[in-house]
Amino acid sequence: MKEYLSRHGVNFEEKDISVDEKAMEELCRRNGGLAAVPTLIVDGQVIVGFDENRLKKVLH
């Protein structure tokens, strides 16, 4: 997902939930209690996993 975002000029913030407890809490809160990665949040929309079609829709 990072490569896709970079290739399309999308700025993003990466958070490592294995070392950042607050990031883990935020992820679980936004993801219905699940710690699924990768998770991308765009304008409040949560995208779990790499879904290129959905990414295209929310980014363009």
Domains of the chain by residue range: 2-59
* Residue 42 CA: distances (Å) to CA of 19, 37, 52: 23, 15, 13
Looking at residue 45, its pLDDT comes to: 87
C-alpha–C-alpha distance, residues 44 and 59, integer Å? 12
17-52 confidence digits (pLDDT tens): 999 999 999 999 988 888 889 999 888 888 999 989
Looking at residue 25, its pLDDT comes to: 94
Is residue 59 pLDDT above 90, yes or no? no
CATH number belonging to domain 2-59:
3.40.30.10
C-alpha–C-alpha distance, residues 32 and 12, integer Å? 22
